[in-house]
Amino acid sequence: MSHDLFLAAREAMAKCHAPYSRFPVGAALRTEDGRIFAGANIEVASYPEGWCAETTALGHYVMGGGGRITEIAVVAEKMPRITPCGGCRQRLAEFAGPDARLHLCDETGVVQTLTMGEILPLGFAGDILK
């Protein structure tokens, strides 16, 4: 089932806007009801004011009504087994529980799967701000 998520991330990556870094990235999220939300990185001349692929996917997810995220896939054109940056790990952790599976992909598919809890074991929890 994770291969379709990889395909959604790869399709999103093809739509990126990365004229400065020339480093296309795609991400896709799946909710427990099966919906998929994808995004690509979007760069602007004022670094670092662009959006990472994971952030773009999360924007689509929030605007699409949210839900429990069960899986995430990330892929980069120029780097096998890309991982989300630190900021995106935190963003993802706030919307996906520690058991959500994170699929790290190369150009052909998933090469490694771990959980959000494994990639961000000591992330901030939103409830501490209340």
Catalytic positions, written as ranges: 54
Phi first, then psi: give them for residue 62, nearest 5 degrees. Answer: -65, -45
Running DSSP on this structure, what letter comes out for residue 120? Answer: S
Name the maximum alpha-carbon separation found in the chain: 43
Rg of the chain, C-alpha, whole Å: 14
What count of other Cβ atoms lies within 10 Å of the Cβ of residue 128? 6
